Amino acid sequence: MRSADTVTGLVLSGGGARAAYQVGVLKALMRLRREAGADVGPNPFDVICGTSAGAINAAALACRADDAERAVQDLCAVWENFRAEQVYRADSLGVIRSGAQWLTMLSVGWLVARWRRARPKSLLDNGPLADLLTQAVPLERLDALLAQGHLRALAVTASSYTSGEHVTFYHSAQPMQPWSRTQRRAVPAQIGLAHLLASSAIPFVFPSAELEWGGAAEWFGDGSMRQTAPISPAIHLGATRVLVVGAGRMNEPPDRRVNNQGYPSLAQIAGHAMSSIFLDALAVDIERLERINRTLALLPPETLRATALRPVQALVISPSQRLDDIAGRHQARLPTPVRTLLRGVGVSGQGRQAQGATLASYLLFEAEYTRELMALGEADALALREEVMGFFGWGEQADLEAREAQVRAA
C-alpha cells in the first residue's frame, strides 16, 4: 500500500512507434491492480516523466490522472488503431515535399540555388501529429488535476539545437526548485502542444519545434538526444520509487548476431545512431541507480543521514524480444510513398530478408505492428506479476483484507 511518504514515479523513454510497448505494459498494470483488489480510483503515479514518444504517453496519462483506467483505455484505442498518416504526411505529395527534397539536398548540397529557397526541414512532415495530440491529450485539464492532488508533477524533456542544452520542462502542483547539471537543466513551464512536438521530434526525421524559455526562443528536437540521466527528473521531482518502461532491450542475449552484407547502408547507420540515442543512456542510468543503492546500503545510519543521496527503489520493464525483428516482419506495411522514400537509404524487404528494420521500427505507426508491441508489453509486465505487486504494494492490501475476513469469520 502507498504510504504518506512514498512518491511513485513513472519514466517512459523514447522510441517513436516503439512506444506502443509502453501502452501494453500500462494495460497490464491496470489489470494487475484490479486483480489485486487495490483501490482503482487513485492514479498510481505521483510523478510522470516522458521523453520523445514517451512524453506523449506521459502527458496523456497525466491529463487524465483522475481516472487512470480511462487514460490507459484511451491510449490503447489510439495505439491499437494507428495509421502512419496520423503522425506524418504519408501521401506522395507530402513525401515529395519533405523527404524527396531533403534527400536531394543531401546529394547535391547547397550548390543549387533553389534548395536555398526551399530549405527542407526533415525527412517527414509530422503536421498530422499536432491534430492527433490536440484530440488525444487534453492538456487544458492539467492545472486542475495538479491542484486537486491527482498528480504531483509532469515532466517532458527536449534537446535544444540552439544552445546545445538538454532541458526538462516540468509542471508541478507545488513550486519546486529547478535543478541544473552539466549541459542539462530543468525549467518550470506550462506544458503545451509545442513541448510534446519538440520532445518527439526524432532528429532528421521530424522537424524541430520552437519553444520560449528564459526570455528567448530556441529550436528543440527529440529529448532523447544528450539525455545522460533519464531517471533523474523523476527523482528531482520527489520520487522515492520509480517504474521505468523502456522501448528497447536493456540487455542483448549472449549470442552475437552478425549479418555482414557489405558496407552499411544509410538506414543501418541511422538505425544504429537512433539505438544509441534512445536506448543506451537509459541502460547506463539504471546501472548507475543500482550502484548508488548498493553503496548507500553499506553506509551506517548516521552517515546516510548526513548525505543528500537516498536509496530509490526501481522496477524496470523492457522488451523481452528484439523490436527490430518485429519491425522486420511488418516493414512492408509502411505506406508505399514512405517505403519508396526509405528504399533510397537502404530500408527494404520483409521478415528475415528485411534491411534497415531498426530505422523502420521507429516509423512503423501501423496497427499491425503497434498491436504486436502492445501484446509484448502486456505479456512482459504480466510475467513480472510478483515484482509489480511488490513494487506497488498491491498484494499487501489483498493480504490485509484476507486476514481481516478470517478474523471476522472466527
Contacts of 24 (CB under 8 A, 6+ apart): 373, 374, 375, 376, 377, 378, 379, 380, 381
Mean pLDDT lowest among 56-70, 219-233, 245-259, 311-325: 245-259
Q: What is the pLDDT of residue 1?
A: 42
Helices H, strands E: what count in the chain?
19, 10
Neighbours of 141 (CB within 10 A): 15
Give the dihedral sign, CA 327/332/335/340. positive
Strands 216-222 and 47-51, how do they pair?
unpaired
The conformation of residue 247, written as its DSSP 8-state character, comes to S
Task: Say yes or no to pLDDT of 114 above 70.
Answer: no
Neighbours of 65 (CB within 10 A): 24
Residue 111 pLDDT class (50, 70, 90 cuts): very low
Share of the chain above pLDDT 90, in %: 55
**Who has greater pLDDT, 397 or 68?**
68
Residue of 321, 314, 196, 313 lying closest to 247 (CA atoms): 321
Q: Give the amino acid at 379.
A: A
The conformation of residue 355, written as its DSSP 8-state character, comes to B
pTM equals 0.88
User: ∠213-218-220 over CA atoms, to 5°?
Assistant: 105
Task: Say yes or no to pLDDT of 113 above 50.
Answer: no
DSSP result, 298-349: TS-HHHHHTSS----EEEEE--SS-HHHHHHHHGGGS-HHHHHHHHTTT-B-
Q: What is the pLDDT of residue 370?
A: 97
Q: What is the pLDDT of residues 340-350, one digit of tens each?
A: 888 877 888 88
Alpha carbon distance 127, 98 (integer Å): 11
Q: What is the pLDDT of residue 110?
A: 46
Task: Say yes or no to pLDDT of 211 above 70.
Answer: yes
Q: Output the nine-digit C-alpha cell for 92.
A: 506522395
Alpha carbon distance 105, 50 (integer Å): 33
Task: Say yes or no to pLDDT of 109 above 60.
Answer: no
Q: What is the pLDDT of residue 112?
A: 47
Alpha carbon distance 1, 237 (integer Å): 21
Q: What is the pLDDT of residue 251?
A: 59
User: ∠94-194-128 over CA atoms, to 5°?
Assistant: 25
Alpha carbon distance 292, 283 (integer Å): 15
Neighbours of 128 (CB within 10 A): 17
Question: Using an 8 Å Cβ cutoff, are 366 and 327 in contact?
Answer: no
Task: Say yes or no to pLDDT of 39 above 80.
Answer: no
Contacts of 123 (CB under 8 A, 6+ apart): 98, 99, 102, 103, 204, 205, 206, 341
Task: Say yes or no to pLDDT of 98 above 90.
Answer: no
Q: Calculate the average pLDDT of the chain.
A: 86
Q: What is the pLDDT of residue 350?
A: 81
Q: What is the pLDDT of residues 174-199, one digit of tens each?
A: 999 999 988 789 999 999 999 999 99
Question: Can you tell me the mean pLDDT for 295-318?
Answer: 87
Alpha carbon distance 104, 372 (integer Å): 35
Q: Give the amino acid at 409.
A: A
Strands 209-213 and 47-51, how do they pair?
unpaired
Residue of 226, 181, 186 lying closest to 47 (CA atoms): 186
Q: Output the nine-digit C-alpha cell for 323.
A: 523490436
Q: What is the pLDDT of residues 131-189, one digit of tens each?
A: 999 999 999 999 999 999 999 999 999 999 999 999 999 999 999 999 998 878 999 99
Residue of 345, 290, 376 lying closest to 103 (CA atoms): 345
The conformation of residue 377, written as its DSSP 8-state character, comes to H
Question: Using an 8 Å Cβ cutoff, are 141 and 45 in contact?
Answer: no
